[in-house]
Amino acid sequence: MAIIVSTNAMIKVGGTDFSDHCLEVRVNDGQETREVSAMGDTSKRFRAGLGNASVEATFWSDVSSTTGISQTLGSLVGVTSTGFEVLVRKVNTARGSSNPEFQLTAIIDGDVNILDEKIGDVSQLKVRFLPYSSFLTVTTGT
Amino acid sequence: MLTKEIAEYLGGAVSGLTVGTNLWAMPVPETALSDIQVSVVEYAGRAPLRAMGPSLGDPVAEIARFQVAVIGQLSQYLETRQLIEEIRQALDQLSETTLSGTRYLLVRELQPPFYQPPGEIGDPNAQHHFSVNFEALRERN
């Protein structure tokens, strides 16, 4: 895939496609590091630690129905949560090697600003998902 | 079309205004006969609010800007000023309204009504001109 201007990314949360409310989505696929420097070294050395993935997204707020993004995210906050599916693609077309799908079995990390009202503005809702269990990159299937 | 939707709304919301008689969704035509005339015209707006979506898909909201102008005869300064105030109050903070099938999220004034002296705008008929500018967040129709 060539360099493109992003206009049509996909994000599904808990099985619902909220792409048409999303104005920004970010998938972070990184890892922690552990220092293994020892006597005699002249510079610090590290080893790979555990993976540290996350998904961050910003949506236009919509409280118009119980299945809207605001209520959906609010309902996913809970101490007994065992994770829900978050799917992200760069382009909302079939997934493949040039359009991988990032799959996170996720819980919500930190604040979800269910309401964030400023006079005269269309309010936005920001959320960060962290892995409850798996983080996968899928390039096959649909 | 925004100007038509706004003009029709004003025709119902402000007493004494009738589309095609003294209220126009365009600059006031030379054939207009009424002493006081109101026009609604668009000007440059802002980029729309967008979410992710397919090519050529509709935006979350368009941000259009328009001006409502009231033109009155030389002896009608107070009437002209009063009418622009009524229009301002009918439109500013108009929210969640559907006008001719188009959903308007919000209409807000950009500044209070302002006066443009006849000499300043080159009006040979020496009429009073009051205008007020608005911004409308609306769905694409």
Q: What is the mean pLDDT of residues A19-25?
A: 96
Q: Judge whether residue A80 has pLDDT over 70.
A: yes
Question: A122 vs B54: CB contact, 8 Å cut-off?
Answer: no
Domain of residue B31 covers 2-138
CATH code of the domain in which B112 resides = 3.30.2000.30
Contacts of B55 in chain A (CB under 8 A): 7-8
| Local confidence band at A1 (pLDDT 50, 70, 90 cut-offs) | low
Q: Judge whether residue A36 has pLDDT over 90.
A: yes
Reference A14, options A91, A127, A140, A114; nearest CA is A127
Q: Does B44 touch chain A (CB under 8 A)?
A: no
Joined together, the tokens standing for residue B18 give 């009738």
| Local confidence band at B68 (pLDDT 50, 70, 90 cut-offs) | very high
Q: What is the mean pLDDT of residues B135-141?
A: 93
Contacts of B137 in chain A (CB under 8 A): 122
Question: A122 vs B50: CB contact, 8 Å cut-off?
Answer: no
Tens digit of pLDDT for each residue in B83-126? 999 999 999 999 999 999 999 999 999 999 999 988 888 888 88
Q: What is the mean pLDDT of residues A54-76?
A: 90
Overall number of domains in chain B: 1
Question: B53 vs A19: CB contact, 8 Å cut-off?
Answer: yes
User: Is pLDDT larger for residue A62 or for residue A45?
Assistant: A45
**Percent with pLDDT over 90 in chain B:** 82
Tens digit of pLDDT for each residue in B15-32? 999 999 999 999 888 888
Q: Judge whether residue B10 has pLDDT over 80.
A: yes
Q: Does B52 touch chain A (CB under 8 A)?
A: yes
- pTM of the predicted model, to two decimals? 0.85
Q: Judge whether residue A12 has pLDDT over 90.
A: yes
Q: Quick one: pLDDT at residue A141?
A: 81
- Which ipTM score applies to this complex? 0.85
Q: Quick one: pLDDT at residue A2?
A: 82
CA-nearest residue to A7 within chain B is B52
Question: B51 vs A19: CB contact, 8 Å cut-off?
Answer: yes
